[in-house]
Structure 1
Amino acid sequence: MTTNVDNDTCNDPFNSIDNQLEFDCQATWKGKHGTFPARFCVKISGTVLDVDANISSIYLYKNLFLRTCIVENIMDSTKSPDSTGNFRLKGFQGLTGLRMQGTITLCTLDGCNRAQNFYDSSYKCKIILIVILFYSSLN
């Protein structure tokens, strides 16, 4: 996750060179002490519409892409992997008092990017290479 609005390598698409996915992410669980293995990735993307008086105005009207991991399914009541609208961040990774308009996405794979499966891409490249080699051998 990055909150530097001038250099946000967490935006979409995710810059995996500058930001490594955390595979054994540990998260707190409400009502329990300590950290536990996370079950979900969360991506919050949106525009800051308003800030509380104690928050720096540098965030105002900036696009933020925030990522973290959690233990509980926060989308269980909606039965949807994402929710779009207005929301306020309260104590999220040290950010409090930001009112945003955007999307909260919950997932179990790929940092909530809906990235194409690497195997599929690799397979397609191999097929294309075979076709090119076949046609070039005919000449």
Structure 2
Amino acid sequence: MYGASKIFNYLLYNIIILIVMKLIKVKAIDCYVCTTTNNSLKECSDPFSTKNPINFLQKDCKSGRKNRSGLFPATSCIKISGVYDTTKIKLVIRSCALDSGSLTQDTELVRNSHCGIFRFDEQRMRGCISTCKEDGCNSARSTVVFSSPFIMAISIYIFSTCFF
């Protein structure tokens, strides 16, 4: 059986973590937002320069959420670049996205950075889907970084193994 002081310490630690998480204000990520086909909008094409005269940076980017109506603060920036297999049209999309919170990774675009063959607009494409979680990070190829819930889960695990 656990001692009362260990249980108290564990509960106090969890309460402090929850209070800190509530105090952190939700701010949407800043992402570049533009689309180009066959380099029709050269400023959006690769190589991308943040010094272009047209500024595509959208502050506090908002995105739709699966099975919900309205727009919500985005959690990730996204860049889709590729070529349609059938038409050979080159497409580059820079935007923001939101993890919908489903349990499986295969249905969440923001959790699936990869290069290769994928389907977009009901057509097969060859290219890359890149996601990232830092302001303005979709100007080039990016990678996924760990999120704060993951870090919190690890800290709770470490704390509980130290005290129990």
TM > 0.5 fold call? yes
Are residue 107 (structure 1) and residue 132 (structure 2) matched?
A: yes
Whether the aligned pair in 1 keeps the contact of 2:39 and 2:90 (CA below 8 Å) is: no
Of 48, 60, 67 in structure 2, the residue corresponding to residue 14 of structure 1 is 48
Q: If each structure's helix is expressed as a fraction of its own residues, which one has the higher value? A: 2
CA RMSD of aligned residues (A): 2.8
Superposition map of 1:1-139 within 5 A: 1-8=34-41, 9-16=43-50, 17=52, 18-50=54-86, 60-72=87-99, 77=105, 82-89=113-120, 96-109=121-134, 110-114=136-140
User: Deviations for 1:1-47, whole angstroms, at most 9, x for unmatched residues?
Assistant: 22342423212222432242112111111111211000101100111
Is the Cα contact below 8 Å between 1:10 and 1:19 reproduced in 2? no
Which structure 1 segments of 5+ residues have no match?
Answer: 51-59, 90-95, 116-139
Task: Report the TM-score when normalising by structure 2.
Answer: 0.51
Measure the CA separation in 1 of the matches of 2:70 and 2:130: 25
Deviation at 1:73, TM superposition (A): 7.1
Question: With structure 1 as the length reference, what TM-score do the two structures score?
Answer: 0.58
**Aligned-pair CA distance for 1:98:** 3.0
Q: Quick check: 1:40–1:73 contact (8 Å CA) kept in 2?
A: no
Q: Deviations over 1:39-68 (max 9, x none)?
A: 101100111112xxxxxxxxx213211111
* Long gaps (5+) in structure 2: 1-33, 142-164
Count residues in correspondence. Answer: 99
Q: Which runs of 4+ in 1 moved over 3 A?
A: none
| Distance (Å, rounded) in 2 between the aligned partners of 1:71 and 1:31 | 12
8 Å Cα contact 1:38/1:70 also seen in 2: yes
